[in-house]
Structures are given as C-alpha cells and as structure tokens.
Structure 1
Amino acid sequence: MTKNILICMLLACASPAQSEEITTLDKVVDVSLYRPAGFLGTVLGAGAFVVLSPMAVLAGLFPPHDSILELADDLVLTPAEFTFKRPIGAPSAR
C-alpha cells in the first residue's frame, strides 16, 4: 500500500517542465494591474512599517532579535521586489 502511494507521489512530482512563454496579454495585465497594485502595496506597507516599528523594536528586546527585519521584509521589501525587480509579465519575483 505504501509503495503505491510513494509511486503516485513520485509520478505527480515528476511532470515535465513546461516552458512558460510570456504573452503580450501577460505584459499588459502586469503593467496595467499588478504593478500599480504592487506600488500601492509598497506605499501602504511603508506607512504601516512606520506605525508598527516602535512595537517591533519593543518586541525585538527579547530573543529572537530580528522582529524589525521581518517587519520590514514583509511590509516593504516583498511588495517592492514584486513591483520593481520582476521582469515585465513574469509571474513572481522569487
């Protein structure tokens, strides 16, 4: 029984890699919808970071001491990377 489950799991993971071509529609949707939404997320995240950073500093007094870095990464850096580092039409930055 476990052998059959293992074989099914391996076959499910072993699908051939498909080359994703970026179409013109992908680029148009990215530039007109996703980039502005990412920019808005970056701006709102920066505002939330300014408001929440004093609490993150207080939380960083106790181990682990990386709460301010995690807050900056989640609220500012991730949306900024999505908006500015991604090639146009690409599905994700990472």
Structure 2
Amino acid sequence: MHLKQGIYLFFYHLRAFFELTFKPLFGLITVGLILSAILIQSPSTRIEGGLVLAGCIVTAFWITIVRYYYSAILRWSDTRQKTSAVIEFPRQSDD
C-alpha cells in the first residue's frame, strides 16, 4: 500500500517534468548512443562504450514506458476510493 502511494505521488508531482523533458532527454540519449558507437570502435575504450550504450538503451526504454503508460501507472497506483478523483491525461498525438 505504501509503495503504491509513493509511486502515485512520484508520478503525479513530476508530470510536468516528464512532459517537458521527454524530447530533450531523447536528444541526450541520441548523443549518448553516438558517443558509445565511437567508444566501441577503440579497443582501449570498448568496455566504457558498452556501458554507455547499455545505459542509454535502458534510459530510453524507461522514459518511453513512462511517456506512453503514464495514465495507466497513475490509475494502478492510486489508492483513493473515489473513481471520480482519478486524473486522465490525454496522450499527445504530435510525437
């Protein structure tokens, strides 16, 4: 119960952050992917390139999941009893 409340509060209060920073974060991930491709080419930095690549892939997956399943995460983690209090956020179609 406390875990669900914590998840709900985290996502509810950071809604603006997720909405405003999705595209810039994806841009940084793209830069990280390019950097990892460059690092993997060198034998002395192959491990570092692999770590950067793995981090970028995991981060891209996480922010994509949050972006497209935000309302479902809020509905699942909402522990309030009234269904009229559930907030629906429309998915933007410009992505």
Instruction: Normalising by structure 1, report the TM-score.
Output: 0.48
Max radius of gyration: which structure? 1
Q: Return the structure number with greater helix share.
A: 2
Instruction: Normalising by structure 2, report the TM-score.
Output: 0.48
